[in-house]
Amino acid sequence: MSDLSKRHILLGMSGGIACYKSAELCRALIKAGATVQVILTEAAAQFVTPVTLQALSGRPVYVSQWDPREPNNMAHINLSREADALVVAPASADFMAKLLHGRADDLLSLSCLARPMRRVPLILAPALNREMWQHPATQRNVAQLRADGAQVLGVGEGDQACGETGDGRMLEPEEILAELVAFFQPKTLAGQRVLVTAGPTFEPLDPVRGLTNRSSGKMGFAVAQAAREFGAEVILVAGPVHLETPRGVRRVNVETALEMQTAVQAEMNQADVFVATAAVADWRVEGGSTQKIKKAQGEPVPTLALTENPDILGQVAASARAQSGALYCVGFAAESHDLIAHAQAKRERKGVPLLVANLGPATFGRDDNALTLIDAQGVHEMPPNRKIELARQLMAEIARRLPKKT
């Protein structure tokens, strides 16, 4: 299933140059599996045409509350009742001020006011000049809209169409999409802090070579994204990978196993859950060269002395917080054969309540995976699926096992 499968989004646009981004947002929502109905204000129609949005959404676009296509002439009622969420992007300063006071003099504001509040969330993506965004009136309006139940997203920073630079840009379409996908996930990890490691480590032999492995980090990044979607505060300790940081996740970049160990130790005492998905190198070179090791004709092949890297998961699992139950530890095992036997042995050796196993060569670099969960009660298979879907299933399992916070 796609991230927004079976979701119907009412996408409203108020006036602003950021409407060009909303056309791409419409396309992204469709690609994510949603159906989209677009409402434009008259001002928005000055920036992007109904024809464009009709082509992208596959549905006729609404502009006027007097649209004759509705037999009862109540488009604001009919459209809002069909929606799973009403997203206004861009939300201009004027439109947010209008919503604050309950004004409803066009179809979009009517739909916002008439929507069933308990069932249809209102999500606003502001787009303003930096001075307009920072103005006390705007900040008061945003605070009150949030107090009234609207979800007002943050804003981006950078170059603005007016030529100035600063806060106020509408978030990028992929950022708004991520917020919307997260909104629909259950918040079963709200109030929890989740620490995740992801990717390989790189152990240098010299300034240009090193020992590493084929881990892409995709599963670990999916775990971090899913944990954040489920309401957790997430810290991601990432080895050397080229992946975008999931929205809302704090990332700590490391290279070696020793650096990962230091980063984990700095965060573990504030964490409630530790998920060790990283493929940490078992060994590092002892006394690596500070200069590139050169190959010379007739010279013997260099001999490398290896020393064992720290067992990060084992150390965390043996800590007082983990032993007391204050820190729930989850390990990962990427095996090449005899998956169940090796994974069960690793769970017992590491002393963790839950271990997640997979066949590494079958999944490295891919966007899909199949997982096996192993705990004291036995083995539970997670059939092949997208890594993000498997990560969500894993987060649901972890949330179910955690003690309730008081």
Query: Which of the residues are catalytic?
Result: 162
Q: How far apart are CA 45 and CA 47, in angstroms?
A: 5
Pairing of strands 250-253, 378-386: unpaired
Residue 199 tokens read as 């990717």
| Of the candidates 243, 245, 224, the residue with the CA atom closest to the CA atom of residue 233 | 224
Q: How far apart are CA 184 and CA 371, in angstroms?
A: 24
Q: Is the dihedral of CA 31, 33, 38, 43 positive or negative?
A: negative
Using a 10 angstrom Cβ sphere, with 0-12 exposed, 13-18 middle and 19 or more buried, the burial of residue 24 is middle
Pairing of strands 354-359, 328-335: parallel
Using a 10 angstrom Cβ sphere, with 0-12 exposed, 13-18 middle and 19 or more buried, the burial of residue 158 is exposed
Helix (H, G, I), strand (E, B) or coil at 237: strand
List phi, psi (to 5°) of 20.
-65, -35
